[in-house]
Structure 1
Amino acid sequence: MAVHDMQQVELPSLPHWETTPDDLKAAIREIKPALRARIAASGRSVEEVFAVLEARIFDAVTEIEAARARGEEIWPAIDYADIEAGTVSAGQLDKLRRRGCLVVRGHFPHEQARAWDAAVVDYVERNRFFENYRGPGDDFFGSVGSKPEIYPIYWSTAQMEARQSERMATVQSLLNSLWQYDSEGVQWFDPDRDSLYPDRIRRRPPGSNSGGLGTHLDPGTLDLWMTEAYQKAFRHLFDGTIESYNPYDAAYRTAGPTYPGSTMCSAFRTFQGWTALSDMDHDQGVLHTVPIPEAMGYLMLRPLLSDVPEDDMCGVTTNQVFPASEKWHSLLLRAISGIPDVRAGDSVWWHCDMIHSVAPVHDQKGWGNVMYIPAAPWCPRNEAYAASVRDAFADGSSPSDFPAEHYERDWSGRFLPEQLNHIGRRGLGLS
């Protein structure tokens, strides 16, 4: 059946759960045959649809393996000066889209980033953070080793200055513009206005031993198959039109619910990101990704194949990160690639659906310090979350996506509302 003919077929509706199902295994046993039946109604089997996507993924994996064998850098790198001047080449943009990840060189001046790092140290020391630290507030970073490595700090002047800077907004706009954000008569998000999504700081000292983080991804868990909005967002995976699947399509992704959990993200992020506050070599426990945005389609369809138990989604469940494993996803993991060396002031970005990990390290050389700042464009989902961010900012609380540790409520030197510029105000929904 031709692709254009599939669009005319009456497809069966899917069951959906807008809140976490009470019986997860029963819901999985219900959704899997329903998804298979919907695909079959298009005139293609799950195996046929998966084979089309698998062939695309295989080509991307082998291209990355060949580039690695030639000694080429897998991660694209673009100078901030070219982004600011609008002189990024078509070839650079094409590689960025294909790989779905980026290092921005000189995003901030080196000395500015170093100064922010020193300011963070001053902020936590003057407020006796280390004397009062109560240990990790969640299990996600339990393997990283140093105590603490992840600082549950959100409202330092350094973090807020970076979040509301013109230079950050410029890069976020470029990344947002890679997406198809206007379709079906709807503008799904504003590419030139980001919500201010507060996240934490990582500071890993020299000599550290870190177990790293295993391969996983962060856009959601079972809600990706089970909520109506995500079923629409991934419609081309489930209606036989796999050739039209576009990992940069924002349709239906900017308003849907997310199942609660310790690793949830209430905001829609086009790209996850962090800004380096220290120089880091590529072999010192750094970020790795599978630089193939279409791999999300593979992850979504793989549980529907016959070799996966009927009550299992390749290990995906609620209250845990979405895993990527050798058992189910070995083809994808062949492409995993680490960032190149970075300097303080560089920033690192990866598509929100991407498999990623942090490599382990023994006796780390130099500091490994970053502040997490994503691209999270203004949309209904992010506008709703901004209300809770405003409340947390007002009294120094931990944002609602994160453990309720609230270290900063009575800290001195916290960033104040009167220090917000126009970018900060609009990012909080105050403009």
Structure 2
Amino acid sequence: MALQIDDLPSAIRQAKRELREMLPNYREVFLEVEAAMIEQADHIATLRERGEPVIPEIAFDDIAARRVSAEQIASVKARGACVIRKVFDRALAEQWDQDIAQYVERNHLDKKLEHRAEDPYFGQLASSKPQIYGVYWSGPQVQARQSAELTQARVFLNRLWRAESEGRVHFDPDHVPVYADRLRRRPPGSESLGLSAHCDGGSVERWIEANFRQVYRKVFSGHWRDYDPFDAAYRTEVEEIASPAVCSMFRTFQGWTALTRQGPGDGTLQLVPIANAMVYILLRALQDDIADDDLCGARPGRALSIKEDYHAPLFRALSSIPLMQPGDTVFWHSDVIHAVEDAHRGTGYSNVMYIASLPACAKNAAYLQRQLPSFREGRSPPDFPADDFEVDFAGRASVDDLTALGGAQMGVQS
């Protein structure tokens, strides 16, 4: 269900009034949070400057063999992100990259891109022109989503969450529905094609919508140290403001699969690997230097901008992900701040398939029902601009290309 706000300034004023009444000492609590975030960010920056890893890395073979250590899991939950190595064989990922290149070239995607729909989602970001293609239904994308390997990796990630709390079961972590997403194909030498720091999965809703407030109930009550970013309570019930490219499924982790070698400097992903940084973002907007009808620049139907003017301590932790090889994957918690480097100074393409981790729940099942006709007809999925590039594409994947697992993940009735 979509949230509708008719008078946004009034809604923000009301929300801030209520939240400050709930937390009369919001100034003092924020100072505590700020000190904790500065400590975390400085620690991450120190590690990075010493050349030590700041984003946990896990071998897929360890996931498959169930030998991921408790220390590794604790690190992923603290950082809110991880790289999973060798989910796919390198040769397979490289073949997928070639197949996608042939698919878009054979179908003259370049000409269609001249008439694509305007995507307003990133419009408030300082850098807002990523090299992302509105292609969802190529053979490699469908194959990767339904693969046993990636499914196993995503089940592992889903299980990091508390799927049951407060006497309720929120989702089934062992079933992974499909959220069809796009491609990034970024040529070397591209400039100003990045994304500045932001969060997905809700902007002004986080302060205004009732279930979002429940997600962050411990933050807004001042018990921020008890806040668990991996507690799924109320997350499957939140209502987003409808907008092209706003995700209306519940993702435990956003993610992508590397199709080419890429690393720092190659126009790649950057993260603020602090899982509970949302505590700072939420309370920052309640402080007295922010206008009563403003939430640090948050806009409905947009990515939630993270700005140095308001969130400077967090930027010290902003770090590029490590060198990725074809077949590696990276995942980040749905509340984690992320960005994309503006310039690609490498020598080869920086290509990925966006494939997130999701669990089975009523919210996600409802989206599958809306997404399935798009797959059958080659249209853009409901959450994305209605470019519908692939309607007449030769070689587009169809229901016949789905395995039994893929059909279940897409919501195809047997």
What TM-score, normalized to structure 1?
0.91
> How far apart are 1:284 and its partner, in Å?
1.2
Aligned to 2:175, what secondary structure does the other structure show? strand
Aligned-pair identity (%): 41
- Decide which of 165, 169, 183 is 2:151's aligned counterpart: 169
Match of 1:427 in 2: 409
Q: Matches of residues 28-427 of structure 1 in structure 2 within 5 Å?
A: 28-40=12-24, 45-137=25-117, 138-140=119-121, 149-361=131-343, 363-427=345-409
Offset from partner CA, 1:73-92 (integer Å, 9 cap, x none): 11111111111111112221
Which 4+ runs in 1 deviate beyond 3 A? 139-146
> How far apart are 1:396 and its partner, in Å?
0.7
Uncovered stretches (5+) of structure 1, i.e. residues with no partner: 1-16
Offset from partner CA, 1:162-199 (integer Å, 9 cap, x none): 00001111110111111111012211111111110000
Offset from partner CA, 1:15-46 (integer Å, 9 cap, x none): xx973321111111111011111123xxxx11
Which region of structure 1 is more displaced relative to structure 2, 354-363 or 132-141?
132-141
Offset from partner CA, 1:224-249 (integer Å, 9 cap, x none): 11111111111111223223211111
> How far apart are 1:144 and its partner, in Å?
6.3
> How far apart are 1:379 and its partner, in Å?
1.0
Match of 1:22 in 2: 6
Indicate the structure (1 or 2) with the bigger Cα radius of gyration.
1
Q: Aligned in 2, Cα 1:234/1:346: closer, same or farther, shift over 3 Å? A: same
Cα distance in 1, alignment partners of residues 354 and 135 from structure 2: 11
Cα distance in 1, alignment partners of residues 95 and 2 from structure 2: 45
Two-structure CA RMSD over aligned residues (Å): 1.8
Partners of 1:255 and 1:379 within 8 A in 2: no
Cα distance in 2, alignment partners of residues 168 and 18 from structure 1: 30
Partners of 1:106 and 1:346 within 8 A in 2: yes
Match of 1:9 in 2: none
**Partner amino acid, structure 2, of 1:213:** L
Which region of structure 1 is more displaced relative to structure 2, 297-306 or 62-71?
62-71
**Partner amino acid, structure 1, of 2:12:** I
Cα distance in 2, alignment partners of residues 336 and 136 from structure 1: 32
**Partner amino acid, structure 2, of 1:19:** L
**Partner amino acid, structure 2, of 1:67:** L
Aligned residues: 409
**Partner amino acid, structure 2, of 1:25:** P
Match of 1:6 in 2: none
Cα distance in 1, alignment partners of residues 345 and 249 from structure 2: 36
**Partner amino acid, structure 2, of 1:183:** S
**Partner amino acid, structure 2, of 1:49:** V
> How far apart are 1:66 and its partner, in Å?
2.3
**Partner amino acid, structure 2, of 1:361:** A
Q: Aligned in 2, Cα 1:145/1:248: closer, same or farther, shift over 3 Å? A: closer
Cα distance in 1, alignment partners of residues 162 and 169 from structure 2: 9
Q: Aligned in 2, Cα 1:61/1:127: closer, same or farther, shift over 3 Å? A: same
Cα distance in 2, alignment partners of residues 135 and 18 from structure 1: 28
Cα distance in 1, alignment partners of residues 189 and 270 from structure 2: 21
Aligned to 1:266, what secondary structure does the other structure show? coil
Uncovered stretches (5+) of structure 2, i.e. residues with no partner: none
Partners of 1:262 and 1:320 within 8 A in 2: no
Cα distance in 1, alignment partners of residues 343 and 2 from structure 2: 40
Partners of 2:200 and 2:304 within 8 A in 1: yes
Cα distance in 1, alignment partners of residues 54 and 363 from structure 2: 33
Cα distance in 2, alignment partners of residues 180 and 55 from structure 1: 27
Partners of 1:145 and 1:209 within 8 A in 2: no
> How far apart are 1:101 and its partner, in Å?
1.1
Partners of 1:208 and 1:364 within 8 A in 2: no
Cα distance in 2, alignment partners of residues 140 and 36 from structure 1: 29
Cα distance in 1, alignment partners of residues 78 and 176 from structure 2: 23
Partners of 1:154 and 1:198 within 8 A in 2: yes
Q: Aligned in 2, Cα 1:141/1:185: closer, same or farther, shift over 3 Å? A: closer
**Partner amino acid, structure 1, of 2:31:** A
Cα distance in 1, alignment partners of residues 50 and 71 from structure 2: 19
Aligned to 1:194, what secondary structure does the other structure show? coil
> How far apart are 1:141 and its partner, in Å?
6.4
Aligned to 2:173, what secondary structure does the other structure show? strand
